[in-house]
Amino acid sequence: MPDYSKLTDEEFDACLEKIVGMLTPAQILALPRVYEALAEDLNDEVLDAWAADQPEERCSDESDGELDEEKGVGALGAAALDLLPFKKAQES
């Protein structure tokens, strides 16, 4: 059995990122407590993204709901991607 006491935080994080990178978003959200944590932390962003994707009669926002060809997602997904804090950090 390996001596896990030699495992550094950086090594653990690298392995965790590799494993998470192989999961689909649905699989990640299905993990215990992940959905709840993300839904709470990203609540405002989710509401803003939802509002941006609503037809004019359901919401006063004037989103056209068109597919964002560059990102390959609808307006809801594009708005959510633009709002995520880690995305901005990755672009730096």
pLDDT digits (tens, 9 = 90+) for 9-31: 999 999 999 999 999 999 999 99
The pTM score is 0.54
Confidence of residue 88 (pLDDT cuts 50, 70, 90): very low
Tell the burial category of 73 from Cβ atoms under 10 Å away from its Cβ (0-12, 13-18, 19+). middle
Q: Is the pLDDT of residue 73 over 80?
A: no
